[in-house]
Each structure stands twice: as C-alpha cells, then as structure tokens.
Amino acid sequence: MEKAKLKNKKIAVLMGGRSGEREVSLRSGRNVLNSLKSQGFKAIQLDADNKLIENIKKNKIDIAYIMLHGKFGEDGTVQGLLEHFNIPYTGSRVLASALAMNKVASKRIFLATNIPTPQYMTIDPDEDIKKQCEKIKRIFPFPLVVKPTSEGSSLGVTIVKEEDDLEKVLADTVKKFKDVFIEEYIKGREVTVGILGAGDNLTALPILELRPKAEFYDYKAKYTEGGTDFILPAKLPKDLYKHTQETALRAHMSLGCYGVSRVDIIIKGNHTPYVHEVNTIPGMTDSSDLPAEAQCAGISFDELVVKILESAF
C-alpha cells in the first residue's frame, strides 16, 4: 500500500506487554510512535496489557504496528489475536513468530535445512535434574551454555565453565523459566544481520559485529551505554561477509519470516557462521542494532519505520 494511503489509516503501535523485555519494548514503541507522528501518520499508543482486546475494539484501529519483544507479543499470540479481528499487522505471521521465539523449534528447522547452528539438548523440567546433568557431561565439553527456550534479549542465558556448577545453574534456570535447553559453546565473533522486505525485495543489511565488554552479549551489554563496541560494517573477509549474509537470509526464509527480522550469528574461526536465533521484532531503541544497520545502508530511521509498516500488507 502506498505511503499516502497509509496516512489515512489509524495505526496503533503495540508496546509494553507482559514479558521480561517490557521496558525495552516501551522504548522501541515510543521511538516508532514519534517517527510515525512526525511523518504525518495517524498513530496511537496501545499497551499490550490485560485490556488489549478491549482497547483494540474501543479505538477501532486499522493497522497494528507490533513493537512487542519476548513472550505474549513476539511469539505469535498477539498476531493470532489480530488475525481473529482481521486487523493487518507488521512483521511475521503467527507460525513464523512462534517458531522463531522457540529456539529449539528454530534449531530443528535450521538443522533440517542445512543451516549451521550450535548443537543442543533439551531439558525435561519434570525429570531428575541430576541425572540429566550426568548425561550432559557425557555429551558436551565445557564451557557450555544454558538457555531458556523462549526468551529474548539473552534473558536467563548462562555460560557454565565448570562441571560442578552445572546442576545448580540448570536447576535455577528451570525453576525460573521451566523450558530450558543446553547449547554447545562456540567461541567466535558475534555478529547480527538485519533482514528487510519480502519476495524479490528481500535484502540483508550490512553486518554488525558486536564486541561486548562482558563475557558475551547479554541483556546488560545490549542496553547499557558503553557496554559493547560496535563494528559496522563488520570487518570480515569478502567471501565470508557474503556467506554470512546469505546464511542470515536462509535462516529468515527457513522459518517463514516476513517483512523484517534480525539474525544473530556466531562466526567460528574465519569460515563458518552458526545461527543462534532469529528475532522477528528487532528492537528500535536508540541503541538497537537494526536501525544502526539500516543507517549504514543509507536507510534513515523514518524510512525504516515506514518499510516495516508496509509489511502489514
């Protein structure tokens, strides 16, 4: 739909929500809202709280611009709700959103489509943790990574260096998040690749390399000013750079993502990009990766906001 026609539509920026990433979502959402308003769009803010259905009906919105991160927003739940009300919305549809949010489901698809991803093992929260730790120790070298299955912004992620620490870390993570998995630790260069568009217009943005001052790119490193050094575009050999962008595009397409995503990758040595995860609603804060990558490609923040808006159609 043309930009001029979109300006006649009532757009609700959905933000906030119930996940552990609520504050980041509010920051992303307000940036998008301000951009839409400054460009002449009829935009309002809607918090995805327990009155969301009531507010959607009351405000009679035409388009939902989803700026929710984590559970109950990035995982297909809100997308399904909007489809029920026949309201167009930005970004990936229900299935792709659910698959991308569930890191184990994503990995199964990556492996089935020959996309490199770190090896993993699921944890049964109802089975004996001690016995599962014994199995893990037989399979995985240390260090290894403990991760919640369906959280964003690296919430709950722990690198376990010593075998003696595994049982406590695993028990604590299962208690807090329930669905948890073990992942092979790959030491390498952390990069992220934004994806924009659809069909023949699908494009990989310039690669951003992240050099966190902490042990890895965790929640604090992501959202604390000065916590990470950003190299944009990443200084990679030409062939590896192209291969990494192609791998990101394949990961995006393998899950059926649409309109926008950000693919997080670890590059081992100087040859293999391993896909960690695909984020279907990348952050749009002042320090977020996607806007920086877009700017490097000559796309302003306002232009990026409109490109994502167009994905609703």
CATH code at 262? 3.30.470.20
Q: What is the domain range of residue 173?
A: 120-184
Q: Using the Cα atoms of residue 228, residue 231, residue 235 and residue 240 in order, give the sign of their dihedral.
A: positive
Q: Are residues 208 and 267 in the same domain?
A: yes
Instruction: Please check whether residues 254 and 105 belong to one and the same domain.
Output: yes
Residues 6+ apart with CB under 8 A from 85: 56, 57
Mean pLDDT of the chain: 93
Find the helix or strand (DSSP H, E) in which 44 lies: strand 42-47
* Residue labelled with tokens 């590059």: 267
**Same domain (yes/no): 112, 253:** yes
pTM attached to this predicted model = 0.92
Assess if residue 173 is contained within a domain.
Answer: yes
- Residue 312 within any structural domain of the chain: no
Tell me if residue 293 is catalytic.
no
201 catalytic, yes or no?
no
Q: Which of 65, 223, 258, 274 is catalytic?
A: 223
pLDDT on residue 302: 98
Q: Is 179 a catalytic residue?
A: no
pLDDT tens, position by position, 131-189: 999 999 999 999 999 999 987 657 789 999 999 999 999 999 999 999 999 999 999 99
* Mean predicted confidence (pLDDT) in 7-12: 95
* pLDDT at residue 25 greater than cutoff 70: yes
Residues 111 and 251 in one domain: yes
User: Of 184, 199, 214, which marks where a domain is finished?
Assistant: 184
> Which residues make Cβ contacts (< 8 Å) with residue 192, sequence separation at least 6?
207, 208, 210, 262, 263, 264, 265, 289, 293
- What pLDDT is attached to residue 20? 83
Decide if pLDDT at 75 tops 80. Answer: yes
- Reply yes or no on whether the pLDDT at 4 is more than 60: yes
Active site residue 264: yes
32 shares its domain with 149: no
* pLDDT value of position 186: 95
CATH of the domain at 130: 3.30.1490.20
Question: Residues 76, 221: one domain?
Answer: no
Whether 9 has a pLDDT exceeding 90, the answer reads yes
**What local confidence, expressed as pLDDT, does residue 123 receive?**
96
The verdict on 237 and 110 lying in the same domain is: yes
Mean pLDDT for 124-135 is: 94
Count CA atoms closer than 13 A to 290's CA, side-chain side. 27
| pLDDT attached to residue 217 | 54
What's the number of domains the chain is made of? 3
Set 28, 279, 288, 311: catalytic member: 279
311 catalytic? Reply is no
Please report the pLDDT score of residue 221 as a whole number: 52
65 with 165, same domain: the answer is no
For the CA atoms of 200, 83, 98, 89, the dihedral, rounded to the nearest 10 degrees, stands at 50
Which entry of 283, 288, 289, 311 is annotated as an active-site residue? 283
Poorest-pLDDT segment among 34-38, 67-71, 76-80, 192-196? 67-71
- Confirm whether 217 is a catalytic residue: no
Residues 83 and 105 in one domain: no
- Cα separation, 47 vs 300, in Å, equals 26
Report how far residue 272's alpha carbon sits from residue 118's, in angstroms, rounded to the nearest whole number. Answer: 11
Q: Write the pLDDT tens digit of every residue in 199-227.
A: 999 999 999 999 877 665 555 555 556 66
Q: What is the mean pLDDT of residues 279-293?
A: 96
Phi, psi for 267 (deg, rounded to 5): -100, 115
In this structure, the number of other CB atoms found within 10 A of the CB of residue 230 comes to: 15
CATH of residue 66: 3.40.50.20
pLDDT at 298 over 70: yes
User: Is 128 among the domain residues?
Assistant: yes
153 is catalytic: yes
Residue among 97, 150, 153, 311 flagged as catalytic: 153
232, 292 contact by CB (below 8 A): yes
Question: Tell me, what amino acid is at 291?
Answer: P
Other CB atoms within 10 A of residue 187 CB: 9
Look at phi and psi of residue 98 and say left if phi exceeds 0, alpha if psi is from -120 to 50, else beta: alpha
Of the candidates 277, 276, 253, the one whose C-alpha atom is nearest the C-alpha of residue 113 is 253
